[in-house]
Structure formats: structure tokens, C-alpha cells
Amino acid sequence: MPLVALDLDGTLVDQASAARRWSNDFVQAWGLPAGEVDTVAEALTARRPKGEVFGALVERLGVPAAADEIWLDHRSKMPSFVAVSDDDRRALIDLKEAGWTIGIVTNGMADNQEGKIRPTGLDALVDGWVVSDTVGVRKPHPAIFESLATRLGCTLEGWMIGDSLELDVAGGAAVGLRTAWIGDGSDPAGFRPDLVVDSVAAAASHIIDVGAHA
């Protein structure tokens, strides 16, 4: 079966609004100025290892707690803050019915990422997933995509859908997948995704229309 590989954060789950909600709670809990919600939310969506993010935040905001404690709090609460849209949920069911193997390939810590995959019900809608922390290699490294294919018992033939040009589009293209970029309205410039869409549902509808071998 051909593969549709999907990114998690910012693709299947609305990471930005979940990060904002956690940031709001964090700022209130530590009595920080309300204006710091933006600082925290932006830091959380930065593409760098989360250990560094929390270390820098604790230092910058003068929070009297260990960065690891804050990180743990973030990992434990975020799962309940993220959601999958009904349209994207339906799209995964449609892809499955059309014969595609569906997998999630995500950078992050296993507890954090699986803590979003299971409570949102994505675990029942996909055939499996790989988390970078578990396999020891992060997107865009080809080995993480190969690991997903091995886990799902399929080849790297098909599509990669994601919101990052560097991680998802370049990473997916490098292993031979066609790519659908969940765009932000900017110019994908040199990355040349095969498809620019605004949601997983839109990408899935195109993929189903063109079929596996178009």
C-alpha cells in the first residue's frame, strides 16, 4: 500500500493555539506580566529542542523553578489542549478507505507526542507513527522516514504532508515522497512542494483524486 506520511504539530494538531493556552496558564500561575504570554507562546513554537526552550524561558523570565519541572508540566498538560479538526479526521478515514497506509512522523519526545496522538483519537485513525526521541534521529534526516516505512511495512512511495518546508517538504522529497505543504501564505521559494494547501483535509482530497500512481 502506498504511504501518506503526516507531520503532527501544526499539521494534524493545532499546536499554536494549544501553546497559547498553556502559555496563558503558565504566565498566570507564576504571576508574570500578561504581555509575556506572547513571549512564551512564541518560544514554544520555535523549532529547537524543547530542553533548550524551557532553560532559556526560566532564565529570561526569572521563574523560581527548574526548567525540567516546567517542561514536564508542559508535556503533561499539552495533550489536553490540542485538537484535530473534524474535516482532518474525516480525511484520514477517507484516505484509509481509498487504500493508503497512513503514518505520523514527528520530532519530539515520545511522552509528549503520544500524549497528543492517543487522546485525540489519532492512534485509531493511522497505522502507526515514529517519534524522533524514540528512534534517535530527527526530521529531515532520511532515517526517520525509513523507520516509519519499516514500522508500517510499506515502501517510501507516496506523500508527505506537513507545515515545515525544511523538515517535512525537504525531508519528504529527499526520500522520494511527493510533498504537500500546509502553507502559511508565504512563498515556499526553493523548496517546491508538489502541493500547497491549507489543511490535511485539502491535501487528502487531492491525493485521493489523483490516485496512487498519478
List interacting residues with Mg ion (CB under 5 A). 7, 9-10, 163-164
Question: What is the C-alpha separation between 160 and 178, in angstroms, rounded?
Answer: 6
Q: Of 10 and 49, which has the nearer Cβ to Mg ion?
A: 10
How far is CA 89 from each of CA 107, 175, 202, rounded to the nearest angstrom?
21, 26, 12
Q: Of 45 and 205, which has the nearer Cβ to Mg ion?
A: 45
Q: Of 24 and 45, which has the nearer Cβ to Mg ion?
A: 45
Inter-residue contact 163 to 10 (CB < 8 Å)? yes
Q: How far is the CB of 9 from Mg ion (least distance, A)?
A: 4
Q: How far is the CB of 64 from Mg ion (least distance, A)?
A: 32
Nearest to 117 by CA among 4, 6, 1: 6
Q: How far is the CB of 131 from Mg ion (least distance, A)?
A: 13
Q: Of 9 and 88, which has the nearer Cβ to Mg ion?
A: 9
Number of C-beta neighbours around residue 99 at 10 A: 11
Q: How far is the CB of 197 from Mg ion (least distance, A)?
A: 14
Q: DSSP letters along 12-73, please?
A: TB-HHHHHHHHHHHHHHHTT--TTHHHHHHHHHHSSS-HHHHHHHHHHHHT-SS-HHHHHHH
How far is CA 206 from each of CA 55, 116, 193, 197, rounded to the nearest angstrom?
42, 26, 14, 9
CA angle 209, 211, 214 (to 5 degrees): 110
Q: Of 71 and 181, which has the nearer Cβ to Mg ion?
A: 181
Q: How far is the CB of 47 from Mg ion (least distance, A)?
A: 8
Residue nearest to Mg ion (CB): 10
Question: What is the C-alpha separation between 143 and 33, in angstroms, rounded?
Answer: 43
Q: Of 44 and 63, which has the nearer Cβ to Mg ion?
A: 44
Q: How far is the CB of 139 from Mg ion (least distance, A)?
A: 9
